Every structure is written in structure tokens, then in C-alpha cells.
């Protein structure tokens, strides 16, 4: 039997973290498949950090990142380079993950060459094409193209079925972000950045913060930063640890508002192991990130989400995640309540993790084998369980 070639296309921090467990799993299945790793490098430094942690060396690296790149620039540079690779590598399937431009353009390039597409983390929806921007549309467009849809949750599967996606192609796998998290927390790790180590050993309660969403650029982000400033001033026993996204547009807003405060620690993006271990040591997380919303509950951390809408309603329903939007007053009040009321804190920290059980990659790879008629059953679906406390 000729081995199947599975091309895995990634390019930013989150899609790479979430594809890493699948790449590692595919590498164990050498009897029937060959894996080709294609990095668009829509991110550069933040991508390389992830590749180092998971020991992944791309077979192809398009190296497209430009400072302050526009959506059009990313699309144009990625689609042309990917088309050439699709022709050369002749994959039997292309895997993409999530909702970045790399995801959508990766699926488009495969479609142009009649190559089947598997979409990991399919079916998340806000049903508002402006939030998150442009991710909601990246996800929907990828769903139109994909031949296999790996829905992380039953909610995501239902969303796809509502859009008349063929039910035989939709599988609930759990989210590979939890597989990655399991890999990370199992590793014994000493925080590698001295400033982070010092902060985490200071005895202060820590609010871990990340922020980067395009729809929050400018005024909304300023509101969030102002709330953080107010919290830091009012609670000197609390520290804000803020690994800043590399995007200069984010830094232009954040740094002037926060850099003069002694209990605010502004850092470069952390590598994944540092970040996960810092999250485990934190009291509270404030973020507009998608992935961090999924990881926090698993570590028992309350998450305040800087968004008006989320395509990840599960943890909100279970009470671990609260949407606080971008209004400075609302963010401040929500954080103050968690810092001052042990009961409010316990209520959010004591919740269920609905996103995965660490076996999403295994399920995904089995479904791909089934697609190629190499196994009779696609295997069972992910069902969330109550977290033991």
C-alpha cells in the first residue's frame, strides 16, 4: 500500500499549539502515513517558540510574516506559496486548524488542487461576522471547503449540522488544546524568564493577562488597559503579569498605560511551557484569547474574557468563564469581585471543563484513517466529564 501523505498547514501560535499533538500522533503512525509540516510563518518569533517546545521542524517554511501586515498581504503571500507546495508534495489530505488566515488560505489552496481538507476545531460560531474579526469568517469559509470536520464539542457539531454540513463528515473529538496542555503540564518545568520567575516567587496574587484581537485594537484595548491600571493601583498585593503579543499595534496601547506601575510586569510573549506553568500559578486570567479561554478552566482558573461575544459558550455556561467586554468599569468590577470575595472566586474556579480529555489527537487521526478506509470504525466521540476536585 502506498502511504498517504498528510500535509499539516500552520502558521501562528495558536494553530501550531493545537496541531502539535496531531503532528506528534501522526508521526507514530508511520505504517500508513507520511506527514509533511508546512509553516506559513504568518507569525515568526511566536511560531518558532511553539515549534521549539514541541520539537517540530517544518518541511516547508514560507516565512511570509511582515511587520504590521494586512489581511490582504497575508492572503496573497500565503496562497501563492502554498499552491506551489500543493503541487510538489501532492498530499492526500491537508489538515488545517481553527480560524486564522493560515487556516482559511490553507484550505483554499488545497481546494484549488482538489485535495481533501480536514478542519480541526470546526464549528465554533458567534454568528456575527464582525466578532471575532476576521476569524468568524475564516472559520465559516473553511467549513464550506472542508471534507472532514473535527468539532471539539457537541455544540460545535450542532452548529455545523444547522449549516447543512453532511453529518457523516462531522465528529466530536474534543479540543487538541487540552492534549497540548496535558503534554505541557506533565513536563517538569522551571520558568525560563528571570523576570517571570521573580514575579511568580514574589508571593503576590497574580492576574495573568493577554490581549491581541483585531476588533479590540485602539479604544477598546485602551479601556481594558485602563481597568488593569486601576486594579494594579488599588491592589498593591496583586500583580498583573502581561506577556504582550508581538504586534506593535497592541504594544502602542498597552505600554504607555501600564509600564510605570511597580506591580505590573510587562513581558515578551512567553513560550508555551512558561505560559502554561505561569497560568497554573496565577489567581485569575484576563484575556481576549480563544485558546486561553479553553485552557484556564482545565487548570481551575477563573477567566474574564475581554469580548462581547464568544464562539466558546461552553465554559461560560459552566461558570468558569465570564464575558466582561471591553468597558473599563465592567472589567474593573468583575476583577475586584474575584479578588475580594472568596465565595465568588470559588464559584468560578469550581467548574467543569468541557473542552477535552487529552485524547482529541488520537480520535482525529483515527477518523482520518477511517476516511481512507484503513480502519472499519471512526471510533467514539468525546463526551465531557465532570472534573474531579
* Residue ranges binding ligand UD1 (CB under 6 A): 12-14, 42-46, 65-69, 71, 74, 99-101, 134-135, 212, 214, 246-248
Contact between 136 and 124 under an 8 Å Cβ cutoff? The reply is no
How many CB atoms within 10 Å of residue 113?
A: 15
Shortest Cβ 64–ligand UD1 spacing (Å) = 10
Do you know the residue count of the chain?
A: 389
The rounded distance, in Å, linking the Cα atoms of 284 and 303 is 6
| Residues of this chain, 15-34, that bind ligand UDP according to CB under 6 A | 17
| SS (HEC) of 125-140 | CCCCCCCCCCHHHHHH
Residue 233 corresponds to which cell in the numbers above?
493601583
Query: Is 99 noted as a catalytic residue in this protein?
Result: yes
290 binds ligand UDP (CB under 6 A): yes
265 binds ligand UDP (CB under 6 A): no
Residue 333 corresponds to which cell in the numbers above?
468590577
Q: Which stretch binds ligand UDP (CB under 6 A): 141-149, 226-234, 269-277, 331-339?
A: 269-277
Shortest Cβ 92–ligand UDP spacing (Å) = 28
Q: Which stretch binds ligand UDP (CB under 6 A): 137-145, 221-229, 285-293, 301-309?
A: 285-293
The rounded distance, in Å, linking the Cα atoms of 288 and 221 is 10
Strands (E), 308-365: 321-323
Element of type H or E holding 274: helix 272-281
Query: Is 212 noted as a catalytic residue in this protein?
Result: yes
Query: Is 214 noted as a catalytic residue in this protein?
Result: yes
Q: Which does 275 bind (CB under 5 to 8 A by kind): ligand UD1, ligand UDP, none?
A: ligand UDP
292 binds ligand UDP (CB under 6 A): yes
295 binds ligand UDP (CB under 6 A): yes
Point out which residues pair with 285 in neighbouring strands.
Answer: 208, 303
Strand-by-strand arrangement of the 303-305 sheet: 264-267, 238-243, 205-210, 284-287, 303-305, 321-323
Considering only residues 243, 296, 297, 356, which one is a binding residue for ligand UDP as defined by CB under 6 A? 243
User: For residues 171 and 272, which CB has a smaller minimum distance to ligand UDP in the complex?
Assistant: 272
311 binds ligand UDP (CB under 6 A): no
Shortest Cβ 250–ligand UD1 spacing (Å) = 8
The residue with its CB nearest to ligand UDP is: 289
Among candidate residues 34, 119, 139, 212, the one labeled active-site is 212
63: left (phi over 0), alpha (psi -120 to 50) or beta: left
Query: Is 135 noted as a catalytic residue in this protein?
Result: yes
Contact between 97 and 173 under an 8 Å Cβ cutoff? The reply is no
Residues catalogued as catalytic: 99, 121, 135, 212, 214, 245
Amino acid at each position: 500500500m502506498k502511504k498517504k501523505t498528510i500535509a499539516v498547514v500552520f502558521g501562528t501560535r495558536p494553530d501550531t499549539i493545537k496541531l502539535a499533538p496531531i503532528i506528534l500522533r501522526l508521526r507514530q503512525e508511520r505504517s500508513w502515513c507520511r506527514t509533511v509540516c508546512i509553516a506559513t510563518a504568518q507569525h515568526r518569533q511566536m511560531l518558532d517558540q511553539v515549534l521549539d517546545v514541541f520539537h517540530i521542524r517544518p518541511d516547508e517554511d514560507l516565512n511570509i510574516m511582515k511587520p504590521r501586515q494586512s489581511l490582504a498581504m497575508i492572503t496573497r503571500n500565503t496562497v501563492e506559496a502554498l499552491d506551489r507546495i500543493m503541487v510538489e508534495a501532492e498530499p492526500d489530505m491537508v489538515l488545517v486548524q481553527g480560524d486564522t488566515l493560515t487556516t482559511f488560505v490553507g484550505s483554499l489552496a488545497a481546494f484549488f488542487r482538489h485535495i481533501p481538507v480536514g478542519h480541526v476545531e470546526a464549528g465554533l460560531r458567534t454568528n456575527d461576522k464582525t466578532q471575532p474579526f476576521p476569524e468568524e469568517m475564516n472559520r465559516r469559509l473553511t467549513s464550506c471547503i472542508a471534507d472532514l470536520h473535527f468539532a471539539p464539542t457537541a455544540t460545535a457539531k450542532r452548529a455545523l449540522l444547522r449549516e447543512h454540513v453532511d453529518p457523516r463528515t462531522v465528529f466530536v473529538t474534543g479540543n487538541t488544546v487540552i492534549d497540548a496542555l496535558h503534554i505541557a503540564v506533565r513536563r517538569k518545568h522551571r520558568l525560563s524568564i528571570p523576570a517571570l520567575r521573580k514575579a511568580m516567587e514574589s508571593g503576590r496574587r497574580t492576574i495573568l493577562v493577554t490581549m491581541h484581537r483585531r476588533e479590540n485594537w485602539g479604544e477598546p484595548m485602551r479601556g481594558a488597559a485602563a481597568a488593569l491600571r486601576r486594579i494594579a493601583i488599588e491592589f498593591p498585593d496583586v500583580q498583573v503579569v502581561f506577556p504582550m503579543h508581538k504586534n506593535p499595534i497592541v504594544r502602542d496601547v498597552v505600554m504607555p498605560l501600564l509600564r510605570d506601575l511597580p506591580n505590573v510586569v510587562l513581558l515578551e510573549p512567553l513560550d508555551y511551557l512558561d505560559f502554561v506553568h505561569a497560568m497554573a500559578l496565577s489567581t485569575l486570567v484576563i484575556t481576549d484569547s480563544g485558546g486561553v479561554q479553553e485552557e484556564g478552566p482545565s487548570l481551575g482558573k477563573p477567566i474574564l474574557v475581554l469580548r462581547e461575544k464568544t464562539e466558546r459558550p461552553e465554559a461560560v455556561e459552566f461558570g468558569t468563564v465570564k464575558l466582561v467586554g471591553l468597558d473599563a468599569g465592567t472589567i474593573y468590577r468583575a476583577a475586584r469581585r474575584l479578588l475580594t470575595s472568596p465565595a465568588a472566586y470559588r464559584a468560578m474556579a469550581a467548574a467543569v471543563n468541557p473542552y477535552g480529555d487529552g485524547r482529541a489527537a488520537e480520535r482525529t487521526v483515527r477518523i482520518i484513517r477511517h476516511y481512507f478506509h484503513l480502519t472499519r470504525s471512526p471510533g467514539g466521540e468525546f463526551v465531557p466529564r465532570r472534573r474531579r476536585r
